[in-house]
Chains A and B, each alone.
Chain A
């Protein structure tokens, strides 16, 4: 039907742009979960990041303050989660859900004064190179710095977990906090750090939405992407590289179904809309066929509280 190679490039670029918040939040949550903590508050932390970034950008006018402020806001709200689950030893699932509800509520409250204000333009890199190489140009050039960071993050995360000492400690804490603790690792400290890092990445993911992807603030603008990010971590079997693939599939199916509609492919729209979810289920079924692999890759102490006092 349409064979223009640049058109394919444009579609791939759109898919990548839509995958950015999912990659950021998933990679953050992956580190948190690898340390044995299940934080279901991703959606809440993302929306807090979104409103903080947007509000700071509007008030201070500085994009740098806004981006780092959003990450800091994610850290602050995840500190609540960390304090509750690690210091007061509350249930991870309940606390995480509470964090999401809290985040959505408080962002709506702060956001009341920021509805109807246009965002600022976020600078993009290499825009001059946009028409140089067919197919690849729209994919490689003309994106924000956060975009490039997001696509580097899975590789950095993978390297961190496999090749660095701290990465090994994080995994040890997640697999067997007792053994790690006996080896002199401060389990609570490691978990605090991992939760806060997850908060920062979720905050950044939210800021990407409210400052770069669709520069505006409206309530609930994360639209469930935090939950998708959570699902992606399971989907990837805690492997950051697979998060990259999963995020592209999930973002991609939405965009491809829009393109199919616009071209006029005669497939029921409802089916196309449900496609990302159907594919997710299929992939999950395929993955879970190998139960040994699932068992090996799941952090053994995921979601379990660690009681030992240091």
Chain B
């Protein structure tokens, strides 16, 4: 509760400031609404890197950080729309309804909602990244590099995005090493370095020698470094935090998309669409591969990366079975986007139940 109060207070202050600044200029102006602080070095941080790319392209931008996914979001959106912003990016799933609601009131302002699926008005577009493609690469590396055949996975919340990542990772790891076991620990937080480190430590103590994460902070890779096991960076290149542990990172790269869309508004070519970009479009970037990886694995990963980019390989290619052995994707078929977007069952080989 206290966090919420502080956040609201800070966002109001920032907003007040934005409003004063906003009243003057005439060019296309973009606004960004963030769920967390820009200092989280994770999700919001990467969106802010994208915002800076828009600035570098010559556009004015403003942002409001720490906006709760509640009626507060509507208030913030209304104020941003009222203060002369031409395009507003709302960068968290929970902004879905507020975005659509406010978009109706401001038909001349473009709204871009990240990770959502509702486009109720012609001025609302949605966008997301196919992070699961990155996890296919991580799974391939993990399955090859593990010696104990136990891979740890620190998860955040049981939502399709995270389940999809676990499945994609496990399928890839099993493909190169049928003996692996993925142990999953739900931390129920997106970022709390202490808790994340504790979750990673528990997995390492239980024999995991490769740790994957779907939480944001660098605590997990640091813990892996301390314990002498491997790990992967999340959202940004985390190599410098754990040079020995980090084999590679999956980076969220929003900049090119943001620049594109703001330019489209400037040129009058902006249109409503649903974007789901992966490695091929550069929204998901694989960082440099660590030299500890054998050269044949590096070559394999490079090839996989190219094949995922070109569409030759799909992360979810059948036959895929769920935990009970029911067929999810038939042989030779790939999972469609609808199935991916709503994925709430584990594939065969993942241990445990999804927390309900």
Q: Is A216's CB under 8 angstroms from B6's CB?
A: no
Chain A residues closer than 8 Å to B37, beta-carbon distance: 108, 219-220
From B198, B205, B236, B353, contact of A116 by CB (8 A): B236
From B40, B186, B219, B223, contact of A219 by CB (8 A): B40
Least CB distance from A2 to B in Å reads 8
Bound CA span A62–B194, Å: 23
Q: Is A259's CB under 8 angstroms from B41's CB?
A: no
Q: Is B355's CB under 8 angstroms from A270's CB?
A: yes
Chain B residues closer than 8 Å to A167, beta-carbon distance: none
Q: Is A116's CB under 8 angstroms from B45's CB?
A: yes
Q: Is A262's CB under 8 angstroms from B39's CB?
A: no
Q: Which of B185-201 contact A (CB under 8 A)?
A: 185-189, 191-199, 201
Chain A residues closer than 8 Å to B199, beta-carbon distance: 258
Bound CA span A57–B120, Å: 51
Bound CA span A264–B207, Å: 14
Least CB distance from A6 to B in Å reads 10
Q: Is B206's CB under 8 angstroms from A223's CB?
A: no
CB of B2 within 8 Å of the partner chain: yes
Which residue on B lies nearest to A221, using beta carbons?
Answer: B193
Chain A residues closer than 8 Å to B3, beta-carbon distance: 220, 224
From B6, B42, B198, B242, contact of A18 by CB (8 A): B198
Least CB distance from A123 to B in Å reads 13
Q: Is B205's CB under 8 angstroms from A14's CB?
A: yes
CB of A296 within 8 Å of the partner chain: no
Which residue on B lies nearest to A271, using beta carbons?
Answer: B355
Query: Chain B 29-45 against A: per-residue CB contact (8 Å), 1 yes, 0 no?
Result: 00000001111111001
From A104, A119, A216, A270, contact of B217 by CB (8 A): A216
Which residue on A lies nearest to B42, using beta carbons?
Answer: A218
Chain B residues closer than 8 Å to A304, beta-carbon distance: none
CB of A214 within 8 Å of the partner chain: yes
Q: Is B41's CB under 8 angstroms from A115's CB?
A: yes
CB of B183 within 8 Å of the partner chain: yes
Range class of the B interface residue count? 35 or more
Which residue on B lies nearest to A121, using beta carbons?
Answer: B226
Which residue on B lies nearest to A222, using beta carbons?
Answer: B194
Query: Chain B 155-175 against A: per-residue CB contact (8 Å), 1 yes, 0 no?
Result: 000000000000000000000
Chain A residues closer than 8 Å to B198, beta-carbon distance: 14, 18, 254-255, 258
Q: Is B202's CB under 8 angstroms from A262's CB?
A: yes
- Given contacts A255-B198, A261-B352, is CB(A214)–CB(B205) below 8 Å? no
CB of A288 within 8 Å of the partner chain: no
CB of A239 within 8 Å of the partner chain: no
CB of A118 within 8 Å of the partner chain: yes
CB of B68 within 8 Å of the partner chain: no
Q: Is B39's CB under 8 angstroms from A216's CB?
A: no
- Given contacts A258-B185, A258-B202, is CB(A116)–CB(B6) below 8 Å? no
Query: Chain A 1-35 against B: per-residue CB contact (8 Å), 1 yes, 0 no?
Result: 01000010011001000100000000000000000
- Given contacts A219-B37, A262-B183, is CB(A18)–CB(B194) below 8 Å? yes
Q: Is A7's CB under 8 angstroms from B205's CB?
A: yes
Which residue on A lies nearest to B152, using beta carbons?
Answer: A262
- Given contacts A223-B194, A269-B186, is CB(A214)–CB(B222) below 8 Å? yes
Q: Is A223's CB under 8 angstroms from B222's CB?
A: no
- Given contacts A116-B45, A118-B241, is CB(A262)–CB(B206) below 8 Å? yes
Q: Is B202's CB under 8 angstroms from A115's CB?
A: no
Q: Which of A194-211 contact B (CB under 8 A)?
A: 209
Q: Which of A97-134 contact B (CB under 8 A)?
A: 97, 100-101, 104-105, 108, 111-112, 115-116, 118-119
CB of A184 within 8 Å of the partner chain: no
- Given contacts A116-B236, A258-B199, is CB(A105)–CB(B10) below 8 Å? yes
Chain A residues closer than 8 Å to B351, beta-carbon distance: 264
Which residue on B lies nearest to A40, using beta carbons?
Answer: B2
Q: Is B206's CB under 8 angstroms from A263's CB?
A: yes
Least CB distance from A197 to B in Å reads 24
Least CB distance from B44 to A in Å reads 9
Least CB distance from B325 to A in Å reads 19
Least CB distance from B259 to A in Å reads 22
Extra 9 A-B pairs, beta carbons < 8 Å, given A223-B195, A255-B198:
A116-B41, A214-B219, A219-B36, A221-B192, A258-B201, A259-B206, A262-B185, A262-B203, A273-B186
Identify the 6 closest CB pairs spanning chains A and B, nearest first: A214-B193, A258-B202, A219-B39, A269-B355, A219-B37, A214-B219
List 18 interface pairs A-B (beta carbons < 8 Å), by A numbering.
A105-B6, A111-B39, A115-B40, A213-B193, A216-B193, A216-B218, A218-B39, A218-B191, A219-B36, A219-B37, A220-B37, A258-B198, A261-B202, A262-B152, A262-B185, A264-B352, A266-B353, A268-B356
